[in-house]
Structure 1
Amino acid sequence: MEESKMQWSPPSRYGPIFRTSVAGRPIVISVDPEFNHYIVKQEGKLVELWYMDSFSSLFSMEGESRTTALGVIHKYVRSIILDHFGAEPLKEKLLPQIEVFVSKTLETWSTQSSVEVKHAASIMVFDFSTKSIMFSYDAEKSPMKLSEKLINAAGGFMSFPLNIPGFAYHKSLKDQKEALTMLRKIVKEKMNSPGKHEDMLDQAINNMNKEKFLSEDFLARWVFGISFATFEAISTALSLALKLIADSPAVLQELTAEHKAILKARKNRNSILTWEEYKSMTFTLQVINEVLRIANVSPGLLRKALKDIKFKGYTIPSGWTIMIANSALQLNSNTYKDPLAFNPWRWKVRNKQPY
């Protein structure tokens, strides 16, 4: 086939790889597993991280391009994330802390006539992660509800970047400004009273002499970004999980039976959840896998072509955006049998492709 610059015939445009445009920007969307795997392996070579303008501008730093700034955040977060969110911290301290915090939150919810789950879950996840892991923020003692500011700011991330009163993006920038002012104050206070290495912000401040890009402004924006990524992803997954489980009595019944069996086996029914109990929740894990399969919180990964990319006789021009739509593969009948059905039992057979 003669090579061309993404000149697909009409039928091919709607196949596993096709071109379109978003807000006037050319973009290639792929649900092709082979191509997606290839692109992910080319990060830093043929492609780089890319985000929508409305999203990246909220996290840009002075003196750096938006793409560069986001790339720095992404790489730096990966380097320290396991120190605070990995298996060892979860096993040693986070598991009992999470149980206590969630139990307290559910008790509060039970006293209310109704709960908007997504919003309430966002606040719960934000308050826990920022207090226990990120930067020791105590929502109960704070004069301003930082969680509300970040949730409001998130409303403009997928909007057109029109900084005009009345538009979502304008309100996002306003809430972001107020949140960053508070975060800069927190960063400054920590820098002026250095202590032992406890949370993620402490670790970043301790690394400022080694990493030149770590500035006061960077740290405030970095905390803003990681806080958003944490509460938005987890609260979305929790909300969808509750909806799917509520609509499936059989799943709820088996899930309840598994947790009742754990409580029954305890010597002290009121003891804190142990690592061994957590690891024994086999059906719970199947439910989690199925929720993430059927309702992936991220529609796709965005990359920007740094050079012309040749694939199967076609060329994706340098500068074009590529969307790796892995979430679409999870709902493909060629990947899973009856893909739209909520069926945690498909994950029951270990070390084999779920059906």
Structure 2
Amino acid sequence: MLRLMSSVAVIFCAGFTVLVDGSSWWSLAMNPLLIPEAYIIGGQPLCSQLTGLSTGQRKLCQLYQDHMQFIGAGAQTGISECQHQFGQRRWNCSTVDNSSVFGRVLHTGSRETAFTFAISAAGVVNAVSRACREGELSSCGCSRAARPKDLPRDWLWGGCGDNLNYGYRFSKEFVDAREREKTFAKGSVESARLLMNLHNNEAGRRIASDLAHVSCKCHGVSGSCSLKTCWLQIADFRRVGDALKEKYDSAAAMKLNSRGKLVQVHSKFNSPTSNDLVYIEPSPDYCIENKTSGSLGTQGRLCNKTSEGMDGCALMCCGRGYDQYKVQLVERCHCKFHWCCYVRCKRCSRTVDQFVCK
């Protein structure tokens, strides 16, 4: 059970910044201090060297220092999945530098920001849950989830499963700490953004939790599978990314009502659930570079001439047209397996057409 000591009180800070100079706990994904080989407790305190942590997150770091490399791993998983899901779109989830990660784009309460908060929170759930199972953390171990009611009676329950309960709760404490430390005037734009961030963090965690499944291993003579041992296992993160991408496509536009609550702009639609993504501002124009909004534009991006989708030159280049280039690719080919035990390949070159947005 996750117990946070009384020293981890909620700290309220005056003023509002979504990201201070772009700094965020997401920068842990690229922090060399959290590379396992470099992770050493002692000397200069680790938590004082990590940038991007809020006051509450720094206190959690001090109490759960061994968790930090998995927080970083979860952030990196979220960033990588975001870049996979949006790789062929105008906004491709590009990182800007080691301190800002996503740059000024996240200063806008858009649906892209909603997805980024959700996928990052989900990444922490998965990383911490798996670390518990593997015995990497001192405060948790294998899952103690209850036996599913529909599991056949003769199947054993209690294999060492991913500790999803702990991963969910630690993600909630750590990821939400930055938002919960802020205080704003009721009804302000800043308070709407705070509620939006907390909602999307929770949506990411719930999707990661809902997609966890029962995994089993057979026992018996000659693979007879006369007995099975089963446990709870987190889903492959690609499934989490796919599910959240669907939530992004159907994200609900929200606004603050007179009581300071987020309500749907279009009341004729069903209200979003805790598993849905929400946003409060329209997306920036990602077609052209805009340093104020953080848009990198699509000039110089590769596009697919034959595609009618978002990766197609018509949509990717926003009507500006594209240039065609001949590019020589060198790749491995004619690979053969040699006993024992290596593969030897030749190197082949071929000329291909590439299309780049003007």
TM-score (norm 1): 0.31
Higher relative contact order (Cα pairs below 8 Å, separated by 6+ residues): 1
